[in-house]
Amino acid sequence: MTDRRNPGQGPRVPSGAPRGSRSGDGRPPTRSGRVLTAASTDRRFTWMRSAFVVIMVIALVKLLWVQTIGGTELAARAESQRQVHQVLPATRGAIVDVHGDPIAFTREARDLSIQPLVEQRNAEARRELDRTKPTWDQLVDEIGDEFESVLGEKVDREEIEAKLTSQGGFTYLVRNVDVTQANAITRKFPMIGAERVDIREYPGGALAANVVGATSKSDDGKLIGLQGIEASFNDELDGEDGRQTFDRAQDDTVIPGTLRNVSAPRDGDTIRLTLDADLQWHVQKAVQSAKDSSGAQSASAVVLDARTGEVRAMANDNTFNPAVGIGAELERGADLGNPAITSPFEPGSVQKIITAAAAIEAGLTDPGEVHSVDGSISMEGVTVSDAWQHGPTPYTTTGIFGKSSNVGTLMLAQRVGKEPYSEYLEKFGLGQRSGIELAGESDGLVPDLQNWQGGTFANLPIGQGLSMTTLQMAGIYQTIANDGVRVPPRIVAERVDPDGETHASERPEGERVVSEQTARTVRDMFRSVVQSGPGAQAGTGPQAAVAGYQISGKTGTAQQIDPSCACYSNSRYWITFSGILPADDPRYVISIMLDAPQRGTLGASAAPLFHDIASWLVNRDNIPPSAPAADLILQAQ
C-alpha cells in the first residue's frame, strides 16, 4: 500500500532497515558508501564537457592543418604513392663499316617473368567466383602450349612448366625474347611480365673486334662500352634516355588522362668507320693463318687507303668474339687489346725507305749510282755487317735497298747526316702518336738527337734502336704512296645522328715530307725488292709480287733483345713487310708484323702474307693491271 503522505513514492523504510540501503535524505548511496551530491555530479559533467571541448578543438585544429598547412604535404604523399616516373630508354647507336654494313647494333628484346605462387592463388580465387575459369594446372598447360608454339626449340617446355608450378616468388621464364614473340605471349597471358632488355649484336662475331671493342651492362641494365670504338665513342653511341610521368591505380594500370611530362628518348648516333668489312674479314683470317703456319708469337696487319690514310683493315691474331662475352673469351686466352696500335717493335729494314727518301730528296744520290759496298762498315764505334758475307760489290742505290744492304744504307745515311736524318724520322711520324680515334695508342720510341751516342746512328737507319707500331710503319709507306704527303691515319669516317644528319670526323692536314718527284722515284726504286730473276738482280721479297702489277715494298728483319744477356738475340726476330699496291698508281698500303716466327725464311716470311692480301684486293676491286715496267739494275756488271 502506498503512503498517502508521500505520493509517488514506495513504502517507507523502517527505522531498523539495514544501513546503506538508502540515505537519510532519500538518495541512494554510492558503492563506497558516499552519497552523490549535486556538486559532485556537476563537477563530473563539467569535466566531460571540458574533455569534449578539448577533443573538438584538437579535431578542428587537425582539420585546419589538413586543409591548410599539412594538406599540401599529404596530397604530395598521396600523389607520390600513385605517381610513376618512367624512364624511356634510348637505343644504343650502331657501328657500321665504310659501306654502311653493320658491325655492331642494338636489338630490343624482352625478359618474360611471373610470380608463380601469386598467380596460382589468383587463378584459384577466380575459379571460386566463376566455375568456368580454368584451374592453375590448366593454365600451366596452356602457357606451355603457347611458349612451345611461339618460341619453338628456343625453350624447354618442361623447364617452363617447372617454373610455373614452383612455390617460389618472382622468376624469369625466358630471357632475350624477340619483341613480337613476347607481345604475342603477353597478350594472351597478361599475368606474364615483359621487361625490356637491350641486346648488343655483333653479326660478324670477331670481325674487327679489336677495333670495335665490346660492351657490358650496368646494374640498371644499360649498355656501357668497354674498349675500342664502343668505349671511345660511348657518349655518342649511348644517346639520351627519355622520361614520362603517369598515375597508377591499385591494380597497377595507368589511370587514363594522367600521362604528362613526356620527354622522348634520343637514340644514340651511328658511327661509320673507315673499315671495309669484307677486307677486314679476309685480313683477319690471313693474319691468323700466317701466325699459325709460321709459329710466331703474334701477328698484326694494317691496310691503309694510300691517298687518304684511312684504315681499311686492322687485324691481330687471337682476337675475341664480343658476342660470346668478355669473361668467356678471357678464360680462353683471347687478346682483348689492339696490338697493331699498342705494341711497338723494332722494324728492321722496312725503316730503310726513310734513308732512301732523305738521300734522294737532298740530291745526294740517284737510283742508278753505283757504290762499292763492302761486307761490313765501322761507324760510330761499332761494326755493322750485311746479312750475308761478301766482298766489295758494285750495288746501285736501287740495289742497296733491293738487296737490303745494311752497309750500303749506312753509307747513304752518313751522307744525309745525323741532324737531317733525325728530322726525317719526326716528319715521317715516328716517336709520336698518330691521333687515331682509338685508346691506348703507343708513341713508339725514337731516341732524342742529343741522346744519340755510341752506335745509335749506326742502328737507326737499319731499323734497330727505335720502335714503332704496325700502324706507324704503314704511315711511313702511305707518305711515299701519297706522293710525299703524310696524312695521319683515321678510322672514323663520320657520325650520323638519329635525324640522319651527318657529322664528318675532323681530317688533319696533310704534311709534305718529300717532294712528289722524290716519292715517285723511291716507289720505283723499291720495286726492286719484289723483283725476281738471276740471283744478282733478285730482291729480298719476290714472294710479295702479284702477277701483272707493279709492287713497291720492303722486307724487314730485326733482332729481338735476349733478356738473359741484355743483348740482341741471334734466334728471335721481328719479321716485317710494308708495301704499296700498285706502285704506279697507289691504292693501298699494306704493312705486316710477325713476332718471332719459328718456321719460314727469315726476312721473307711476311712477304707471302702481303701477296695474299694484295691478290685478294686486286680481284675484289678489279684494279687495272699496271703498265709493263723494265727490270731494275741492282748490281752493276
Catalytic residues: 349
| Residue whose C-alpha is closest to residue 590's, from 632, 626, 551, 541 | 551
User: In 10 A of CB 372, how many CB atoms?
Assistant: 12
Give me the sign of the Cα torsion angle 399, 404, 410, 416.
positive
Whether residue 213 contacts residue 227, with contact meaning beta carbons closer than 8 Å, is answered with yes
Cell numbers given for 530: 719484289
Whether residue 236 contacts residue 494, with contact meaning beta carbons closer than 8 Å, is answered with no
How far is the C-alpha of 38 from the C-alpha of 26, rounded, in Å?
A: 14
How far is the C-alpha of 295 from the C-alpha of 310, rounded, in Å?
A: 30
C-alpha dist (Å) from residue 100 to 208, 235, 276, 498? 15, 21, 9, 15
DSSP 409: H
Residues 6+ apart with CB under 8 A from 369: 396, 397
Q: How far apart are the first and last CA of the chain?
A: 172
Whether residue 482 contacts residue 306, with contact meaning beta carbons closer than 8 Å, is answered with yes
Q: Coil, helix or strand for 422?
A: helix
DSSP 221: S
Angle at 8 between CA 5 and CA 10, to 5 degrees: 80
Cell numbers given for 451: 741522346
Cell numbers given for 501: 644528319
How far is the C-alpha of 161 from the C-alpha of 437, rounded, in Å?
A: 50
